[in-house]
Structures are given as structure tokens and as C-alpha cells.
């Protein structure tokens, strides 16, 4: 069987500024919360490796763009570092940063690679965090100003924008579970942060549309379909509620301009509903995304609660459901995630049937593996496992497209082995191997396969 994608389909990869750029002496970038956290608690980062060097993309982007071309990219998603462009989050701009991003986007275009640019990828400037981060309404307005500046600076080179990457992550990890800075366990703050993030996204959409630059702006959401343990009504209810928190909490305001009433009522019952200004709710209602980015890695399996939750404990969505450990599931043991390619098809059909068949693309899909060097033969990592992972997901995605879902692209995570938050370089995801000692780049077997994928617009 041959899987062939529509003409003009985007094939490429994704990364983020903090995870790939690194910094150099004299680049004048400001600190973000990952720099700060590493200074405060470096022991939390795998191998004690922080974000100061990462994949040295800031210095090596021309070589990397050339390798993108060699590995079958016609598109590439990265992010702008807010604190690199505005070291204090606002005020005086860092001209060196503006020159770097402009040169990068021009280089991509010169090589026939369409830039997809994200404005925020977990990397709050320290100066903005000191004002309260996403808990602060002032920071929402500063973000709006930052976004507009980016559109004005780079809008002639960039016609595909995203406001946020995986906003549910900085809500859950930063304000419920302690995996991101500021490491709070404060459900009321978590709900406020989620609301302010949705508002900030809508404001950025409004700013972009007001400039009439002719491109598109969207948001990247990590959609993890919730599957019930069984067809029992209580299991199905658990899955429906999990969907409300995990997916619909950002998907609905971004695409429909509204929040699901059931979700609002649950948050109200928990005493967590933030004070929302009518004007701000109207901004969310009126400023919808043009298209959607979807990051997909694994499904979300849930079941009815086995025990009555403790009403005195801090609230989390698991108040309403339990995580279901399904027997016999196929796993990536290095990341601890289930491998379930059909999930991409289910996302495609959900967007087709329940979200106006919005145009969308896969903005991340990938497989991280530890100690990949053991798979090296003749100087090249033979990552057949990654190729099979891509093939299976692309096959299910293709089925969704054939059935009418408007998916226009597929980006893998990631182009080159990158620094990954607290995991640092524990797991490798790249099409290109990075030697941390020398910063040498070597294309993996999957990178060569990806080049053939674009050449033939599909695979056998």
C-alpha cells in the first residue's frame, strides 16, 4: 500500500527557542524562568545540564537550515524567545535578537522552507514572572505588545504564527504538579493562569488580524484523546470530564470563543472560578484562531474513581476520574508514554465533526529514546524504531485526511536532538544526532528517510 499526501502538504519539524538556541557571550538576551530555575535548583535537571548551550542553534542556524533541507523539510516551526527580544519583557528591544530572527527567517525562506513561528513556549521572562507571570493581568497586556512587535518586525517573512505552545502544560506543571517554574500547588492560581493565557492568545490574534498582513495565526494544543476503560456509564463520564479539562479547556475558547458550560460549572462548584471582565470575555469570543496546531504523543486512558476524593486536598482534575493503566498497552519505556497511532485519526475526526472542520496540522509527533548511541553503526544511528513510529502515525493521519479532515501538515519533534526541560538530554528525539561535547551534527537513518518522504510526498 502506498500512502500519498495532498499536494502542498507541509513536512517538517518543530523546536523551541529555549530548547535549541543556547546563548553566546554578548548576545544581550534576558533571563527566562528556565535560566532562573537552573540557577536555583540545577540538581533537578537531568545530568545537571541547563539551557545555556542546548543545541547551539543561535550560532549554527545556517548549517542547521542546510541540514533541514537535506532531511526533507519544506517547513519548520520554532519560537521567538520573548526574553531574548525584550530582556525585560517590555521596553527596550534587543536589536541583536531582532537581527538574528530576521536572518533565520530569511535563511529558511531562501532554502524554500516555510517558517511557522510560535510566540510563547513555556519561557516567561524573569522580569515578567516577578510581576506575577500569567497570574497577572498586566503581563497579559505586555504579552500583547510583544506579539504585535513580532508581527511588525517579521510579518513580511512569516505568514504562519502561533500564539502559544501547549498552554495546558504551564497551567498543570507550573501550578498543580511542580514540574515547571514557579512550582506552585495552587488550583485557584492554575485556573486564573489558564484564563489569562486564553485571553492573551485572543489578544494576539486580534493584534495580528488588525495588521492585515495576509497570513494566518493559530494556537498549538497538545490534544490527548481521553478513552474510557469500558462502556460503563461511569467510565464514559470520566472520559468526558477528562476531555473537558485536558482538551476542551483551551480548544473551545480558541476555536469557538466559548467555554463548555459543564466545565465552567465544575470550576464554579470547586470555588475556583476567576473574576472575568465582560470585555475580556468578549475579546475571547470574537478573536478566533485561523488554524490549529496539534501536538500528539500519547492517549489519555481514564476510569471512574475507585475511592471518594478527599475534599480537603488541593483540587486537581483527577478529583473526577482515575488514570487507567490499561493491560498490554504498547509503551515507549524511555518516556513512559503509550504508543497509540490511531489517536491521530481520532483527533482528525473530532476536529472535523465538532470544531467546524477547522484547518489544522500536526505540529509535534515524535519518539524519545535514551542512550541512542548503542544503535550506531558505521557512524549513523540506525533508528528504525523512529521510522516505524512515524509511518504508523502518518498512516492513521492519512486515513483521517481521506475522510475529510482538513490537516495540511505534519511536523516531527524534532529536527536535532534538543534540550528538554527537566529531562535535559536524557531522551533523544532528533532526525539529526547532536554530539554534546563537540556540537557536531550527524543525520540519523530517520533523517534520510524523512528526506525521501518529502521527495515522494508519501511512502510505501
3-state secondary structure 253-286: HHHCCCCCHHHHHHHHHCCCCCCCCHHHHHHHHH
How do beta strands 10-14 and 407-412 pair? parallel
**Cβ proximity of 272 and 266 under 8 Å:** no
403 catalytic residue (yes or no): no
Sheet containing 226-228: give its strands across. Answer: 226-228, 300-303, 322-323
> How far, in whole angstroms, is CA 149 from its chain's centroid?
22
364 catalytic residue (yes or no): yes
Catalytic residue among 166, 172, 236, 243: 166
3-state secondary structure 168-229: HHHHHHHHHHCCCCCCCCCHHHHHHHHHHHHHHHHHHHHHHHHHCCCCEEEEEEECCCEEEC
Catalytic residue among 236, 364, 372, 433: 364
**Distance between CA atoms of 209 and 202, rounded to whole angstroms?**
11
Q: Which residues are catalytic?
A: 166, 364
Amino acid at each position: 500500500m502506498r500512502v500519498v499526501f495532498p499536494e502542498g502538504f507541509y513536512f517538517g519539524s518543530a523546536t523551541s527557542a529555549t530548547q535549541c538556541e543556547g546563548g553566546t557571550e554578548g548576545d544581550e538576551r534576558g533571563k527566562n524562568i528556565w535560566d532562573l530555575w537552573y540557577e536555583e535548583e540545577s540538581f533537578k535537571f537531568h545530568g545537571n545540564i541547563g539551557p545555556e548551550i542546548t543545541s547551539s542553534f543561535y550560532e549554527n542556524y545556517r548549517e542547521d537550515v542546510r541540514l533541514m533541507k537535506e532531511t526533507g523539510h519544506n517547513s519548520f516551526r520554532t519560537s521567538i524567545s520573548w526574553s531574548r527580544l525584550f530582556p525585560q519583557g517590555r521596553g527596550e528591544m534587543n536589536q541583536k535578537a531582532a537581527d538574528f530572527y530576521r536572518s533565520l527567517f530569511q535563511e529558511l525562506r531562501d532554502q524554500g522552507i516555510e517558517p511557522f513561528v510560535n510566540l510563547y513556549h513555556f519561557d516567561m521572562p524573569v522580569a515578567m514572572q516577578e510581576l506575577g507571570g500569567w497570574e497577572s493581568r498586566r503581563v497579559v497586556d505586555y504579552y500583547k505588545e510583544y506579539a504585535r512587535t513580532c508581527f511588525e518586525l517579521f510579518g513580511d517573512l512569516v505568514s504562519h504564527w502561533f500564539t502559544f505552545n501547549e498552554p495546558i502544560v504551564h497551567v498543570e506543571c507550573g501550578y498543580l504538579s511542580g514540574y515547571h517554574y514557579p512550582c506552585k500547588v495552587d488550583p485557584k492560581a492554575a485556573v486564573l493562569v489558564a484564563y489569562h493565557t486564553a485571553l492573551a492568545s485572543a489578544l494576539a490574534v486580534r493584534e495580528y488580524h488588525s495588521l492585515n498582513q495576509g497570513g494566518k495565526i493559530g494556537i498549538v494544543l497538545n490534544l490527548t484523546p481521553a478513552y474510557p476503560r469500558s462502556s460503563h456509564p461511569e467510565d464514559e463520564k470520566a472520559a468526558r470530564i477528562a476531555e473537558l479539562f485536558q482538551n476542551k479547556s483551551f480548544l473551545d475558547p480558541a476555536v469557538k470563543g466559548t467555554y463548555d458550560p459543564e466545565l465552567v460549572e465544575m470550576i464554579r462548584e470547586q470555588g475556583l472560578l476567576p473574576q472575568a471582565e465582560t470585555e475580556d470575555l468578549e475579546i475571547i469570543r470574537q478573536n478566533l484562531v485561523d488554524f490549529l496546531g496539534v501536538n500528539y504523543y500519547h492517549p489519555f486512558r481514564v476510569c471512574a474513581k475507585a475511592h471518594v476524593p478527599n475534599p480537603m486536598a488541593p483540587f486537581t482534575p483527577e478529583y473526577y476520574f482515575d488514570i487507567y493503566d490499561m493491560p498490554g498497552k504498547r509503551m515507549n519505556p524511555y518516556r513512559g508514554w503509550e504508543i497509540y497511532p490511531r489517536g491521530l485519526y481520532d483527533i482528525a475526526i473530532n476536529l472535523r465533526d465538532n470544531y467546524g472542520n477547522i484547518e489544522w496540522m500536526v505540529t509535534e509527533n515524535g519518539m524519545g529514546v535514551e542512550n541512542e548511541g548503542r544503535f550506531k553503526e558505521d557512524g549513523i544511528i540506525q533508528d528504525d524504531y523512529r521510522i516505524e513510529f512515524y509511518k504508523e502515525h502518518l498512516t492513521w493521519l492519512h486515513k483521517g485526511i481521506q475522510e475529510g479532515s482538513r490537516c495540511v501538515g505534519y511536523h516531527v519533534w524534532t529536527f536535532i536532538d534538543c534540550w528538554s526541560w527537566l529531562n535535559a538530554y536524557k531522551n533523544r528525539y532528533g532526525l539529526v544526532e547532536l554530539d554534546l561535547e563537540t556540537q557536531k551534527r550527524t543525520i540519523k537513518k530517520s533523517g534520510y528517510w524523512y528526506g525521501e518522504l518529502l521527495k515522494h510526498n508519501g511512502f510505501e
